[in-house]
Chain A
Amino acid sequence: QQIQEDLNKQLFDNLVSFLRRSHSGFQEKTTEWTCRMKTREIPTAALVLGVNVTDHDLTFKSLTEVLQNNVTPYIALLEAKDCPGIKNLMRKLIGQLMNCQVDVDSLEEEDYVQVSQNRIPCSMTSLISWYESVTKKTDAGTPRKKRTSSSRHWKSPPVVVMFQDMESFTTRVLQDFIVISSQHIHELPLVLIFGIATSPMIIHNLLPHSVSSLLCIELFQSLSCKEHLSTIIDKLLLTAQFPFKLGEKVLQVLINIFLYHDFSVQNFIKGFQLCILEHFFCQPLSVLCCQLGDAKKKVNSLSHNQCENVRRLPSFRRYVESQASEQQIALLTEDNFLKETIQKLLEDLHIYHENYIPVLRCLHVFTSSLPKYPLGKQIRELHCACLENRVWETEEYESSLQLARMLNRSDLVTMLQQCVEILVSSPGKEFDEAVEKLKEFLTQFHKLEEEAFQEWDVSVSSPKELQKKTDLYHLQKTLLELKESRRSKKLTKFEMLRFEVIEYIDSLVRNYLVPADHKTLHEIMYFNTASVLREHLNAAPRIALHTALNNPYSYLENQALKSDGGSISNKAPDICIVYKLHLECGRLINLSDWLEAFSTVVMGAEGPNADAASSDHVDDVIHARFIRAVSELELLGFIKPSKQKADHMARLTWGGC
């Protein structure tokens, strides 16, 4: 658990720092702009942030920090949920501004109390008088305040008001606020920042012309969430830094949730977190999932039971089977020998990871420039493909190699250069040779340059011949001849070299991009139970209800409940019978018919042993059971009482579900 929390933390720190960085460029622009603005209209920055509302919190938080450090101490962040009316908005705004000031100047407790008492009168005038007093203070100022205000900010710093979720504000409140504040813009230099999830059109939809003319709007675009995703995948999955890895299916599920459901980076991280949690909770050997040095130490202290666990891993069994028979016996019986082997295998795995990523990047350099992207445009698609199967056996890989063999020289050279860079920067030691080889290719290309030019001349001259003849028949003939000759012609040096390069890349791929599933002991590092994720993140309560009601046998394993296909046994729980009967109805259900049908079914189940004498009593009980089942269905939302007709229920669902 400790490791887990550490890992989580590590992961989170990494992410937060990344998000900071990715926003910083964008923030700098905004900051700069806030400094510049000083006009009669209210300067307004509209930040188009995209639909992933959940990620915006972090953006705004860091934006606040940046602004606070560089521009102004007066920042208020307003959220729609806190501001149902203009009064709440003003109160919130003033409260935040005054507290902001306290934060920045770090005054004593007494002042804090004063400020919070001041929260009760909240009008624009009080805000202005406050602002004046504050700026006066900073103008005249004690030395300490001078330091805070004059060194970093200018004399009258603007008051920044951020509306985090523009779309959810009520129009009325926004309009009122803008109109009010525009009248005081001279005394109170306001700057508004709107966070927009949809498109800048929303400003004009929300605000009438008379109001929006008071604003001086500038648009800022943030990075699209897809780019965020690819950076995150880059940082989290395609590094050897974290020992924990995601299996192919899990990654696919996470990416699908991201791309098809919410575009939320935060949810992606949540899913990743859940994976870590689940992995360390369920897999007993996950203790070994840490840095190589630690893992080796831990291997030495493995208990006998844990050794047995290792022996039970399917990938380890495969490994044992491939060994000689004495070694097999040693592996299966002697713990010490096993531990040595595990250490060796873990090292292998580690080296595999170190090599995998640079080679993957190299391959991506090649495939991402091909037309139609047979192996995908993004590196994550390539990663998935490599994890899923032996990539060189797939059709897509074949076709991309075909395409790569037709690359022209300049592209090929730049790609090779990129590959060299990637391989040089990688920590793996085995690439010296590869780098050498690639560099050699490069120099050969340089040598070829001149020859290539000559060849160009030759090839240019041939079309000239073509131009002489205008007859269609002759043209066709010469073209055919040309083609023939080209086919029979020996390959040029360039082409030879090109083939060689491609071959080499191919061999790299074959050596290093073996899918993780084929590696021994991959279970320790890879989490591959996608169903868990789907269940807990992307649940479908309706399906669960439907199966429970339709087919109770899948939950209650009693032979009496087993039935085939659509029919339902009459021994099923009451609610299932009632549900089944209600499915047969249209939009409205007559209660008394329903009751009768129910009692027929139930009587049929009890039939033989129910005697006539107590039939009245049985009837009552059945009636009561029916009432219970119907009110349960009502609670579940399948039906509701209808006023259209007496004693009728309306169905709220359609068809079989």
Chain B
Amino acid sequence: SARKNKKDKMSNLVEEYFEAHSSSKVLTSDRMLQKLRKRRLDQQTLHDLLKKAPLAYAAEIKDLNQQHESLFSKWMLQLHLGFNVVLYGLGSKRDLLEKFRTSVLQDSVHLVVNGYFPSITVRSILNSITEEVLNHTGTFRSPLDQLEFIIRRFREDSSLELYVLIHNLDSHMLRGERSQQILAQLSSLPSVYLIASIDHINAPLMWDQAKLSLYNWLWYETTTFKPYVEETSYENSLLVQQAGALALSSLTHVLRSLTPNARGIFRLLAQYQLENKDIPSYPGLSFQDFYQQCREAFLVNSDLTLRAQLTEFRDHKLIRTKRGADGVEYLLIPVDDSTLTDFLQKEEEEV
């Protein structure tokens, strides 16, 4: 009956799952981060703060890593016998791989790929192989051609050996089917030794049978408990202020350099946007209305000057224009409301 019990438990779990996912309504509190008196931290202060926080259990973590380091010679042997090594487990494996590189790969040709870097592409990996390793100058029509060239060179010249270390093989840029296919083919070359790390829980879903056999993985659990410092610095988070979005500091900086009238124009738009922030489908302020308001406030005297001013804003990414369903141009400030409020407050203080 233990089995039956288990089965019951299973079906309960399944039912629970569908129950939880059946309704789109989710019961969570409506509290928001802004209501906390915390301001949002930016990347730099976050980094500084974290430096102050001591890393817990440093001694144990060190022990753990030393255990992993004792495997280095084994990895080397296995790499040479045609296997490739993949590391999984909790914690950043960057330092471990780096240690592997410095202690074992000193004298051999090796390539380090930072998969977590947001602008990495397979093309750039292939390029660095052809240019740096094979000393080939020239371009290729497609990555496939490039790969073919690399494979041919490695087949012809048996003295060529290359170690490839990939941090975060499962990162956003490399997880695509095409790039995995290319990397797998690359790793199947007998003189290319690949050692990679994965972190995402669903990372093994990237590989089908064919790719798995090309990769020829040996799995190693290397739980390090080290913080993902480099890896998460590119991760978009709701909690951190984005470099991509306009920050308050840059907003004020740009506006300082403008004429008083131009600042007035921007303030007008900001005020209007804040007044309407509770309307979910707020499309922005239409150009005609905006022109009218600016005229009334004696900020512009013609259609043309306003347009010129708006072009300048747009160049600084201070505003965005959107065409509505009726074909009218609507103007929006692509900054979140809290920053905008802060900005207006600051402006008022100055005035």
Contact = CB atoms under 8 A, between A and B. Distances in A.
B89 A544 contact: yes
Contact of A637 (B181, B200, B216, B239): B200
Contacts of B81: 5, 8, 273, 277
A266 interface: yes
A91 to B, nearest CB: 10
Contacts of B31: 590, 592-593
Interface in B195-251: 198-204, 209-210, 212-213, 216, 218-221, 223, 225, 227-228, 231-232, 235-240
Interface stretch (A295-303, A316-324, A366-374, A641-649): A641-649
B29 A593 contact: yes
Interface string A44-59: 0000000111100000
Interface string A555-586: 11110010000000001011100000000011
Interface in A598-657: 619-621, 623-628, 630-632, 634-638, 641, 644-649, 653-655
B223 A635 contact: no
A270 interface: yes
Q: How large is the interface on A (under 10, 10 to 19, 20 to 34, 35 or more residues)?
A: 35 or more
Interface of A: 1, 5, 8, 51-54, 81-82, 88, 165, 262, 264, 266-267, 270, 273-274, 277, 281, 535-539, 541-542, 544-545, 548-549, 552, 555-558, 561, 571, 573-575, 585-593, 595, 619-621, 623-628, 630-632, 634-638, 641, 644-649, 653-655
B90 interface: yes
Given A54-B210, A536-B218, A625-B50, 5 more contacts: A541-B204, A624-B41, A624-B53, A627-B41, A635-B200
Contact of A591 (B16, B33, B227): B33
A624 B89 contact: no
Nearest to A5: B81
Interface of B: 13, 16-17, 20-21, 24, 26-29, 31-36, 38, 41, 45-46, 49-50, 52-53, 56-57, 60-61, 63-64, 74, 77-78, 81, 83, 88-91, 144, 181, 198-204, 209-210, 212-213, 216, 218-221, 223, 225, 227-228, 231-232, 235-240
Contact of B238 (A264, A542, A561, A641): A641
Contacts of A273: 81
A591 to B, nearest CB: 6
A5 B78 CA distance: 12
- 5 closest A-B pairs by beta carbon, nearest first, are A539-B219, A54-B213, A624-B49, A548-B90, A556-B60
A621 B194 CA distance: 39
A649 B221 CA distance: 28
Contacts of B199: 635-637
Quick one: which of A536, A541, A630, A653 has the most chain B CB within 10 A? Answer: A541
A328 to B, nearest CB: 37
A575 to B, nearest CB: 8
Contact of B28 (A557, A558, A645): A645
Contacts, number: 194
A538 B181 CA distance: 21
Contacts of A595: 33, 36
A644 B26 contact: yes
Quick one: which of A538, A619, A647, A653 has the most chain B CB within 10 A? Answer: A647
Contacts of B88: 539, 541, 544-545
Quick one: which of A165, A274, A620, A638 has the most chain B CB within 10 A? Answer: A620
A630 B237 CA distance: 8
B48 to A, nearest CB: 9
Given A586-B27, A592-B33, A1 B238 contact: no
A635 B36 contact: no
B231 A635 contact: yes
B239 A627 contact: yes
28 contacts: A53-B210, A81-B181, A165-B210, A264-B209, A270-B83, A274-B218, A277-B78, A545-B89, A545-B201, A548-B225, A556-B64, A590-B28, A592-B32, A592-B36, A595-B33, A621-B52, A626-B239, A628-B232, A631-B240, A634-B237, A635-B200, A636-B90, A636-B199, A636-B200, A637-B200, A645-B28, A653-B201, A655-B16
